[in-house]
Structure 1
Amino acid sequence: MPTHYKDPVIACDRRGATVDRPPGREGTRPLHELGWRGRGNPHERPLRFAPHTFVWSCPGCPPVI
């Protein structure tokens, strides 16, 4: 299930592993350093070209990017 960009928890779309979204202005940079990878949901047709949901992979899964 794709994760909405405002959700407090990010979930891996393959294994279901979860991690809390980091607070602050850094966004998801700390998660990328830990091996999490995300990208815009390819099945979404967003308004104004900005996706609202993202697909994520945990460090143990093949990257979604």
Structure 2
Amino acid sequence: MPTHFRDPVLTCDNCGATADRPVGANYRTGWERLRAEGWTARANGAERPLRFLPHTTIHACGDCPSVAVDQVVAAG
């Protein structure tokens, strides 16, 4: 189940693993730590958000396949 942007815990949508959401003064370093551990995230494409901002995110832990979509910009 996608994680709501206000949930205090991130949940992997593949295996159910959890991690504390970074907050406050540790926000930036907390996200850097999660990315170093292999956590990836993307907006929930199945959601029809109000005002074009999704309220839920799909997450994957370092042990599961990535859910992040890599964007390649072709030099033209």
Q: TM-score, normalised by structure 1?
A: 0.89
Number of residue pairs matched by the alignment: 65
Partner of 1:13: 13
Distance in 2 between residues matched to 1:49 and 1:28, nearest whole Å: 23
Q: Let me know the Cα RMSD of the aligned residues.
A: 1.4
Matched, 1:60 2:59: no
What are structure 2's unaligned runs of at least 5 residues?
A: 69-76
Gaps spanning 5+ residues in structure 1: where?
Answer: none
After superposition, where does 1:1-65 map in structure 2 within 5 Å? 1-24=1-24, 25-26=27-28, 28-65=31-68
Structure ID, larger Rg: 2
- Tell me, yes or no, if the aligned pair for 1:14 and 1:61 is still in contact at 8 Å: yes
| Higher relative contact order structure (alpha carbons within 8 Å, sequence separation ≥ 6) | 1
